[in-house]
Structure 1
Amino acid sequence: MVALRDGRKLIGVLRSWDQFANLVLQDTVERIFVQKYYADIPRGIFIVRGENVLLLGEIDLDLDDVIPEPYEEAPIEEVHAMQKVEIEGRKKKDKAKDKKLKNYGFEGELGAEAIL
């Protein structure tokens, strides 16, 4: 399982890596969690640049298919739509917060919304 800086979670078989944490994943699935739903998007072979890796961990094969209690599988289209609404809401909230902070002299990093 690999968590990326942009919030995506990838699950796959680690086939190769190097000293910069560049990864090659096989049979990769991107798992999206929104509210109490999740969806798996098959991605196949996935190459991840090391600077985008936030967390890399091994999943116990016995627990691989167990999904945490509150989550239910839903169609990809529905989960994608809910994720889009959630991201837009978060952007609005962050924009208002940044505006308030700017009034007090604080200025955020450029391009910080990419990390969401």
Structure 2
Amino acid sequence: MSWAGPDEIFLSTSLAGFLDKKLIVLLRDGRKLLGTLCSFDQFANVVLQGACERVIVGELYCDVPLGLYVIRGENVVLIGELVWFWIEQDREKDELPAHMTCVSEAEIRKAEKAEREARDLKGSMRKRMEFLDFD
């Protein structure tokens, strides 16, 4: 067994600077999780406290609460610190584009379903029309 060189040590501790900070974690399946980094290991397995999933459909979004959440490192695509814009009235609000509308979880799930059905319909129509493609 060999000892880890300086490069390996640096990589395994690179998340140390993010401990107790609000992060966004992009997962392989496209989900976006927000939460405070509590712990991590050398495989990028992370534990988020006060986690929520931010679901965005068009101009609608919803933060679905998850609580304490463990993420397997192989599913992590990107980890980044959330930048907070300090507003005098609300210091806990992250800045979103003005056109985005916060909706309930039920509304965002309904919008997700409608978007998925539209995408499936477009795919099935394309499949039916393949015979017209004369490449």
Q: What TM-score range do you get, normalising by the shorter chain?
A: 0.7 to 0.9
Letter aligned with residue 56 of structure 2: F
Letter aligned with residue 101 of structure 2: E
Report the TM-score when normalising by structure 2.
Answer: 0.65
In 2: Cα distance, 1:51 partner to 1:95 partner: 33
Structure 2: give runs of 5+ residues left out of the alignment.
1-23, 87-92, 131-135
Is 1:43 aligned to 2:66, yes or no?
A: yes
Report the TM-score when normalising by structure 1.
Answer: 0.74
Residue 3 (structure 1) aligns with:
26
2:34–2:54 contact (8 Å) kept in structure 1: yes
2:50–2:68 contact (8 Å) kept in structure 1: yes
Q: Which digits, 9 at most, give the CA deviation of each residue in 1:1-20, with x for residues without a partner?
A: 00111111110001111111
- Quick one: percent identity of the two aligned structures? 42
Identify the match of residue 105 of structure 2 among 76, 96, 105.
Answer: 76
In 1: Cα distance, 2:70 partner to 2:123 partner: 31
Greater Rg by CA: 2
More RCO (CA 8 Å, sep 6+):
1
2:27–2:76 contact (8 Å) kept in structure 1: yes
2:83–2:94 contact (8 Å) kept in structure 1: no
Structure 1: give runs of 5+ residues left out of the alignment.
101-116
Give secondary structure in 2 for the equivalent of 1:68.
coil
Q: State the aligned residue count.
A: 102
> Could you say what the CA RMSD is over the residues aligned between the two structures, in angstroms?
2.3
Which deviates further from its counterpart, 59-68 or 38-47? 59-68
Letter aligned with residue 40 of structure 1: D
